[in-house]
Structure 1
């Protein structure tokens, strides 16, 4: 008779689990040492990046301040309400940190997030088989780019937005087929990004299309979309409770109108009397930059002072784009080229805007320099500047920002590299090996195009595209190297000849 083994008692099961845990913990030091030995170059790079950020925090204590935007984000965080111009996503993060009443802590979190994002990008590239030197080269700009570090030190939404978008895409690409948890978390990250910067609403289409093209099971795609829908739907309802309309902001029409004001010819459009008041007064060849139209410098904008007029701006912009589509596309192409082209800025005004994102010095103090933030975040109306803040680190850090800022040209070149390498032996690799780098680099370039077509021209808007472009270029290079080193397919071996039948003699033959 077969004996049935008795089930282990609860104390025995508990002892077994404790033993397994101790075995796991005992192996951690060896694993940690092995990882440190294998990836010492990354650890050295992160250490250098940490020292750089520490110097910035000492030299520009407690943070850098962008008049208007910084105080706007802090104000929304204190009032706990969505803004009509700036979404609440970044203010939500600030609100979580307000109980500590420390601006220094706010930028410390952003600096740590920047280093963490660089480590995550490197880990993804290593997981996908990218050579260590290539993965490290792709990570260097994320750690040492002066403009990236400067934006981490500003009370602005760019760092949070960069981390959310890049981390969401890294999660979806981590495994051959993203699991339930990855889809749910990535949906939350992209949803948060969509209510952090308006370009995030357009960026949502990329991960959704990626999941569909990757043929991820529909229930997981639905899980991703559902989480995004819950975040966006909740935000719309919340916005309605404050402002009486279901919207993500009631200033988007003005932004788009300011873009069309640079090329629109009102005589070619059918406009209402109210819309015609928005026609620029300057002749076509003497139009102002779009940001001057946006911020009341262009004349007609001042006749529409509050958010209730945004539908008029939206209607005008829609008619201008549909009535002059080629002019709109020409404007987008021109502004994208101005953002991505190598060399000095196209105009003196663009150069001035770019200087805001450099580390300032006490000398040469102009309106193109960043300000220093107050230590107390409750001082939402602050107009300090760099001349009020003397520190010996300011001059060398300013010099560093002049020589170590990665231009947006790198994003454009990375996209071209991804496309070019995708055309090399396209059938020698899997569909995923083409899709992943194109998704990263395409999203990076696409966000720049959307930004320049719907808002003002500002170098800071290209920073979130940098890690996406670097990851995409590294993945494309890995695909190219794997197809170059893979052995050519050999002809299938010829089938072995079938053995001839043997005749066995029997006794009857004798």
Structure 2
């Protein structure tokens, strides 16, 4: 629907967005890496067996592209998916009556946010998850959700959930949303069945390989790491089997939750068996014994949303090593990671900055993003306007964005990239909240009824524009 009059504003905005992604492709070859996570995804793509810490959705995506022997192909596909999502959001908003400039303004963060571009250029699940969850919610953000649309939306959210487990929360939220909107049992059944199919299939696969029916075997470990920032065993009084999981460091000197999972000094090393189950029991005991400290820890994490900057880097020295900045220089791969990367690439795979393209992108990243305080304000405003104007279709993306922002601090801890999937959903919610109701198509039967009632006379009919107020 894009070619033609009325879309010039969006086309003018789309071209620079394509250029920015071209700069990423030219300036950082073949891709960007994120610590050990990227290489774990590649290992799982070569040997797809459900693992402990993360589901295999993204690794299966990598496996599908593996015959190309090109990491650049992966990043190119991810960039195209990101641009396609922006086009889809724009198209839906135009169909809902927003003018071209208004729909374009709403989609600007999807086109230009440097963090979205960075994650699209990285071997990480975030870009794929963002597209899947936003596309699924987009299918369900209609005034009249048909059973086929609900089925497609549910399937996309199910695939998102086996890419990152937080997608389960969005799927449950979508089901509750359709139930409250009374869209009919066919639409609700279509959503639930299509969404559950990927989850059940994956959990069955997991059960066949490990004996655990689930998406991961680390939910207890992640929640335990969350409690390590405040847990006090003198207040918890854990049972003897859980005592080895007590932290020995004073609260003031404890690192962030993620360090407790991967550090060699972690108390997890003292637990030989059933680590996930025992860690989960300890975490629940800690939360019940210290609910105030738990909420305070979550609130402390959420304060990061008030920072204008996207990262914690404050000096040029730390910026050069921050994984959330386009790097300044070549970063050699560690020996333990090189094999998986080079096997997939079919050759050298270390990130190679190429000037001047890399420098242009580094200059852009210093200002080309939506600060999180503005994101939170936009999200809150969208939810308020959607409620006041009675736009239930705008509430689902807004509530899904809220769930994606709030869930990580409660379950594992805050990371700036965990907020990124909320950006497209927030923009969609804001656009739908401002849009008018869709014009209802009149069937021939209804048209005859209207004619017989006298509405064929223009003087007696309400103005057409009243349908778009």
**Contact 2:342–2:349 (8 Å) recurs in 1:** no
Hey, what's the Cα distance between the residues in 2 that align with 1:180 and 1:82? 31
CA gap of 1:57–1:381, structure 2 versus 1, over 3 A, is: closer
2:72 aligned with 1:137, yes or no? no
Measured against aligned partners, the alpha-carbon deviations of 1:380-437 in whole angstroms (never above 9, x if no partner) come to: 9988455xx44322222111111212232232111221244356xx3xx4x4x1x222
Partner of 2:428: 471
Hey, what's the Cα distance between the residues in 1 that align with 2:287 and 2:343? 41
Hey, what's the Cα distance between the residues in 2 that align with 1:317 and 1:420? 35
Give SS of 2:51's match: coil
Structure 2 residue aligned with 1:276, among 208, 218, 243? 243
CA gap of 1:330–1:375, structure 2 versus 1, over 3 A, is: closer
**Contact 2:229–2:254 (8 Å) recurs in 1:** yes
2:64 aligned with 1:96, yes or no? yes
Hey, what's the Cα distance between the residues in 2 that align with 1:382 and 1:315? 45
Q: Which has the larger radius of gyration?
A: 1
**Contact 1:150–1:359 (8 Å) recurs in 2:** yes
Hey, what's the Cα distance between the residues in 2 that align with 1:352 and 1:85? 28
**Contact 1:53–1:111 (8 Å) recurs in 2:** yes
2:369 aligned with 1:412, yes or no? no
Structure 1: 4+ residue segments shifted above 4 A: 343-349, 351-354, 371-377, 379-383
Partner of 1:37: 5
Partner of 1:498: none
Give SS of 1:277's match: helix
CA gap of 1:377–1:203, structure 2 versus 1, over 3 A, is: farther
Hey, what's the Cα distance between the residues in 1 that align with 2:301 and 2:126? 20
Hey, what's the Cα distance between the residues in 1 that align with 2:401 and 2:265? 31
Give SS of 2:245's match: coil
Hey, what's the Cα distance between the residues in 1 that align with 2:293 and 2:436? 39
Structure 2 residue aligned with 1:400, among 349, 360, 364? 364
CA gap of 1:454–1:316, structure 2 versus 1, over 3 A, is: same
* Alpha-carbon distance, 1:312 to partner: 0.7
CA gap of 1:455–1:353, structure 2 versus 1, over 3 A, is: farther
**Contact 1:340–1:409 (8 Å) recurs in 2:** yes
Partner of 2:296: 330
**Contact 2:129–2:163 (8 Å) recurs in 1:** yes
CA gap of 1:195–1:344, structure 2 versus 1, over 3 A, is: closer
1:433-448 counterparts in 2 under 5 A? 433=391, 435-448=392-405
Hey, what's the Cα distance between the residues in 1 that align with 2:425 and 2:306? 15
Hey, what's the Cα distance between the residues in 2 that align with 1:156 and 1:382? 19
Aligned residues: 432
Partner of 2:14: 46
Structure 2 residue aligned with 1:198, among 155, 165, 173? 165
CA gap of 1:400–1:346, structure 2 versus 1, over 3 A, is: closer
Q: Which runs of 5+ in 1 are unaligned?
A: 1-30, 481-510
2:231 aligned with 1:264, yes or no? yes
Hey, what's the Cα distance between the residues in 1 that align with 2:246 and 2:55? 28
Hey, what's the Cα distance between the residues in 1 that align with 2:339 and 2:23? 16
* Alpha-carbon distance, 1:373 to partner: 11
**Contact 2:321–2:327 (8 Å) recurs in 1:** no
> Normalising by structure 1, what TM-score?
0.78
Hey, what's the Cα distance between the residues in 1 that align with 2:397 and 2:362? 31
**Contact 1:45–1:140 (8 Å) recurs in 2:** yes
Which structure has more relative contact order (CA 8 Å, sep 6+)? It is 2
Structure 2 residue aligned with 1:286, among 246, 249, 253? 253
2:222 aligned with 1:234, yes or no? no
2:38 aligned with 1:70, yes or no? yes
**Contact 1:253–1:317 (8 Å) recurs in 2:** yes
